[in-house]
Amino acid sequence: MKLVAVTLPFPDKRLNPNNASGMHWSATSGLRKKAHLEGFVLARQEARAVAWSPVKGDVPLRITFELPDRRPRDRDNLLAAMKAGLDGVAEALGVDDSQFEPVLLTRRYGRKPGAVHIEIGGACS
């Protein structure tokens, strides 16, 4: 299976479930649409560059969050904030996001504005 590597912008803090609680769904709708489109466009470009073809079965996924500062962040909230972006990536690759198995999440300190490095397929373990 070929490897597709995509770097997405760090998710907007308003997409974090802890920040979004109590907000009406329409308050973050535009942010989710933007994240989905970014994931779709960037993954589609990379998939074409490596001649990716959709697969059946499990697709390994590695996500490295490059944090923009040293504030602690929970892995589960980081992943939840990336849902729309990951949906766009999956759509661009022609896979269902339920195929992402195993999923490896790591965090590292970086610089502002931060980034999310995603590797799909290949030997992501």
Between CA 73 and CA 78 the distance in angstroms is 7
Query: pLDDT value at position 4?
Result: 95
- Percent of the chain clearing pLDDT 70 (strictly above): 94
Query: pLDDT value at position 123?
Result: 67
Q: What is the CATH number of the domain that holds 73?
A: 3.30.1330.70
* 18 pLDDT more than 90: no
Number of folded domains in the chain? Answer: 1
Domain that holds residue 115: 3-20+28-121
Q: Which of the pair, 17 or 6, is modelled with greater confidence?
A: 6
- 8 A C-beta contact, residue 89 and residue 43: yes
Contacts of 69 (CB under 8 A, 6+ apart): 109, 112, 114
Place of tokens 């602690």: 72
Q: Which of the pair, 23 or 32, is modelled with greater confidence?
A: 32
Q: What is the pLDDT of residues 29-78, one digit of tens each?
A: 999 999 999 999 999 999 999 999 988 999 999 999 999 999 999 999 99
pTM of this prediction? Answer: 0.90
